[in-house]
Structure 1
Amino acid sequence: MSSTIPMEISEEFAADVVLADDITGYRAPEPGAVSEVFLTGATGFLGAFLLRDLVRQGLVVHCLVRGADTSAARARLEENLRTYELLDDIDPDRVQVHTGDITRPLLGMERDVYDAVVGRVGAVYHSAAKVNFLTIYKWLRKSTVEATHGVLRFAQAAGATLHHVSTTGVFEPGADREPRGELDPTGPPENLSLGYTKSKWVAEQLVREAARRGVPVTIHRPGQVWGDSVTGACQPNDFVWRFIKGSLQVGLYPRKFRLAMNMVPVDYVSAVIVAASRHPEGTGGTYHQVSPDTLDSERILRLLRGAGYDLKEVSILKWMKAVAADLTNSMAPLLSILVESEKVEVAEFADELTRDLLKDTGIVCPDIDEKVFGGYIAYFVRAGVLPAPQE
């Protein structure tokens, strides 16, 4: 008999939080005994860094990649790694590429390939996600919610631990209570502002129900993932970077704008996920990859000026008019989200359980200071995304 999530939610989500009957519990190998793993989302931002760090652990990584054939899929993967300056850090002999699609039966793989891979891997890292802040929930169901059933079935067939990448966005916004810890209640989905965060909340409920049935899982909730604190490699479509680029395009910056987010370097997020997944006591936990501090609009402006950019502060209305007047501005399509974001009280997050698990690893979250931020600017200038600073 199907199990449902024990909470009152609206009809829009009620059917989606029901986990399929055929997903049942099993025993996975100990982390130290795993030598081959399966990774979704390797052509994404976080997924690229997970691939690097998993290979650094001496693991063979089987990557699910969309493509017309294996050669095209591998070329896609390599181009993504090249974009984030990771290609030379990865031993290609430890990377196996399989064409597929997480939204299709058997994850889009041929039956013989599927059976061969599940017979070899002992852990599954699910970082694939369709990140679109403009899309409503129902258009993300297939890629996020339905795909979670397929990934859980794959993990079950492999007898593997599932390491599921969620987001701190599953928490209801608001700064009126204590920082949200790993074990605090999330949602309700009706109070989440984006279709993306709603879909991630539902997917996390499915994974939690699987855990209640005995499926070995870990859940990871990164904050807003920013660039590598060492190389500066960033994703240009990040909301805050589009805000920064849009401001540079018009030469203006909105005065006293409320934009505060928990920005966390991608190399830290990846390091925590991999370390927790390899820890003998890590399975079954929920872990936050967050920064101790939020990054607000005023601090971003100071960092930009420190990097050499000359920006004039104006009212938010004047800034929005300037952005809206240029359809090529990177923030033009996102102005409606920006307006809504200013109304939201940003939540704070705690990560005591995560830091306790990793206390002997030496892994700490780097500060996004002038040096790290300067590395981000340098990367975007190299990539032709941002103009060079005036100084």
Structure 2
Amino acid sequence: MTSTMTTEGAEEFAGDVVLADDIAGFPAPDPQTVSEVFLTGATGFLGAFLLRDLLRQGLVVHCLVRGADTAAARDRLTANLRALELLDDVDLDRVRVYTGDVTKPRLGLAEDTYAGLARRVGAVYHSAAKVNFLTLYKWLRKSTVEATHGILRFACAARATLHHVSTTGVFEPGADRPPRAELDPTGPPEALSLGYTKSKWVAEQLVLEASRRGVPVTIHRPGQVWGDSVTGACQPNDFVWRFIKGAVQVGLYPRRFRLEMNMVPVDYVSAAIVAASRLPEGTGGIYHQVSPRTLTSDEILRLLRGVGYELPEVSILRWMKAVAADLTNSMAPLLSILVESEKVEVARFADEATRDLLDGTGIVCPDIDDKVFGTYVAYFVRQGVLPAPGA
């Protein structure tokens, strides 16, 4: 998203992009022989789908989950799967839950537990992230940058391939440039508008340096992750869904709002990451999980009207005033981003390397058409996030 720059300059990141000396390379394991893996972020959105798809590969999945104890951590995991309507698709008998924290030494695990896990797993999937579009980089350093050091140390201890989930947000925003391909330069960090994307850029630099040292890694950059194209399960705190809910709450839609985002279904993102991670030729690559086309504000309005929401168009100023008048509106906390922004957009992305790798797997990105969008709305109605159209 394009907005006014924060006060963080290049010097803010100079010390943070230095990889710790104790992280050293090792030979990559054959992914097709790996039977046990380690996953962070399973209580998040993408992480829950990664858990499902890893289990579909017949793997044993060891999940790091925050919680007062193992029972509480497992309850958090189960509740997240249930909310995303994934619980019936997950074989919990092959899930091992550990209470821990990616920001702590040894991931918050006891020394013997840490060592025992390192002996068992052959791949590490790091999808945990603190997503906050309003927080400065310095407040995300620990949860993103320091955590990446910890995950890299664990991958080295396990001699396991690291599959690192980054974001296309590491590219400077702007749709006026050619599509950014997997190997195109990212940043610079001072040009990124959000503390979150800056922290992800720094974390990615650490992973790239680890790769140069011989640590086997893959980097995955999803676009804006939307719901499951089959069940409709979505995350309600996604920026675009907050925008949609905010419009439904006030019963109005902003005219000529310059919104253009690369929305990609979560089931495709997860399937693409897992498939790439299981192919020997996938190790060491950078992959984009993106949609072939962007979604504009006009298209979102057409989709909303198609499912039955009658939203009159008004000026952007009148719409923002209506949102600001209701502190319970889902967009009220994010109005500052819109006020500061010339427009809300992302760069355009290419994914040729990703599609070449997935050729023959049958994994392709579904289009977000009327049918898929209808499943998203139906899920949110079931969850009580949106009123039924016409209610």
Instruction: Provide TM-score, normalisation by structure 2.
Output: 0.97
For the Cα contact (< 8 Å) 1:164–1:218, is it kept in 2? yes
Partner in structure 1 of residue 75 of structure 2:
75
- Partners in 2 of 1:308 and 1:299 — Cα distance? 14
Q: Does 1:157 pair with 2:157?
A: yes
| Residues 295-306 of structure 1 mapped to structure 2, 5 A cutoff | 295-306=295-306
Partner in structure 1 of residue 3 of structure 2:
none
- Partners in 2 of 1:227 and 1:148 — Cα distance? 26
Summarize deviations over 1:130-153 as a string: whole Å, max 9, x none: 000000000000000000000000
CA deviation after TM superposition for structure 1 residue 344, in Å: 5.2
Partner of 1:181: helix, strand, or coil? coil
CA deviation after TM superposition for structure 1 residue 340, in Å: 3.5
CA deviation after TM superposition for structure 1 residue 174, in Å: 1.4
Partner in structure 1 of residue 203 of structure 2:
203
- Partners in 2 of 1:123 and 1:267 — Cα distance? 20
- Partners in 2 of 1:341 and 1:35 — Cα distance? 47
Partner in structure 1 of residue 6 of structure 2:
none
- Partners in 2 of 1:340 and 1:358 — Cα distance? 39
CA deviation after TM superposition for structure 1 residue 34, in Å: 0.1
Partner of 1:309: helix, strand, or coil? coil
The letter of the residue matching 1:62 is H
336-345 or 105-114: which moved more? 336-345
CA deviation after TM superposition for structure 1 residue 119, in Å: 0.5
Q: Of the two structures, which has the highest relative contact order with CA contacts closer than 8 Å and spacing of 6 or more?
A: 2
Summarize deviations over 1:186-217 as a string: whole Å, max 9, x none: 00000000000000000000000000000000
CA deviation after TM superposition for structure 1 residue 224, in Å: 0.1
Partner of 2:218: helix, strand, or coil? strand
Partner in structure 2 of residue 108 of structure 1:
108
CA deviation after TM superposition for structure 1 residue 346, in Å: 3.0
Partner in structure 1 of residue 260 of structure 2:
260
Summarize deviations over 1:325-362 as a string: whole Å, max 9, x none: 00011100000112344435531000000000111101
- Partners in 2 of 1:285 and 1:33 — Cα distance? 19
Partner of 2:229: helix, strand, or coil? coil
| Residues 1-391 of structure 1 mapped to structure 2, 5 A cutoff | 10-343=10-343, 346-390=346-390
For the Cα contact (< 8 Å) 1:28–1:122, is it kept in 2? no
Partner in structure 2 of residue 4 of structure 1:
none
Query: Residues 346 and 340 from structure 1, CA distance in 2 versus in 1: closer, same or farther, beyond 3 angstroms?
Result: farther
Partner in structure 1 of residue 4 of structure 2:
none
Q: Percent same amino acid at aligned positions? A: 83
- Partners in 1 of 2:298 and 2:176 — Cα distance? 22
Partner of 2:164: helix, strand, or coil? strand
- Partners in 2 of 1:67 and 1:342 — Cα distance? 41
Q: Aligned Cα RMSD in Å?
A: 0.9
- Partners in 1 of 2:183 and 2:250 — Cα distance? 43
- Partners in 2 of 1:148 and 1:332 — Cα distance? 32
- Partners in 1 of 2:340 and 2:300 — Cα distance? 19
The letter of the residue matching 2:108 is G
Partner of 2:64: helix, strand, or coil? strand
Partner of 1:140: helix, strand, or coil? helix
Partner of 1:256: helix, strand, or coil? coil
- Partners in 2 of 1:366 and 1:74 — Cα distance? 32
Summarize deviations over 1:303-337 as a string: whole Å, max 9, x none: 00000001010000000000000001110000011
The letter of the residue matching 2:129 is A
- Partners in 1 of 2:24 and 2:57 — Cα distance? 30
Partner of 2:37: helix, strand, or coil? strand
The letter of the residue matching 2:213 is R
The letter of the residue matching 1:171 is F
Partner of 2:120: helix, strand, or coil? coil
Partner in structure 2 of residue 5 of structure 1:
none
Query: Residues 378 and 345 from structure 1, CA distance in 2 versus in 1: closer, same or farther, beyond 3 angstroms?
Result: closer
Give ranges in structure 1 of 5+ residues lacking alignment: 1-8
CA deviation after TM superposition for structure 1 residue 93, in Å: 1.0
Summarize deviations over 1:270-313 as a string: whole Å, max 9, x none: 00000000012000000000000000100000000000001010
174-183 or 124-133: which moved more? 174-183
Say how many residue pairs are matched: 383
Partner in structure 2 of residue 3 of structure 1:
none
- Partners in 2 of 1:28 and 1:143 — Cα distance? 27
Partner of 1:321: helix, strand, or coil? helix
For the Cα contact (< 8 Å) 2:258–2:345, is it kept in 1? no
Partner in structure 2 of residue 6 of structure 1:
none
Instruction: Provide TM-score, normalisation by structure 1.
Output: 0.97
Give ranges in structure 2 of 5+ residues lacking alignment: 1-8
For the Cα contact (< 8 Å) 2:260–2:344, is it kept in 1? no
Partner of 2:26: helix, strand, or coil? coil
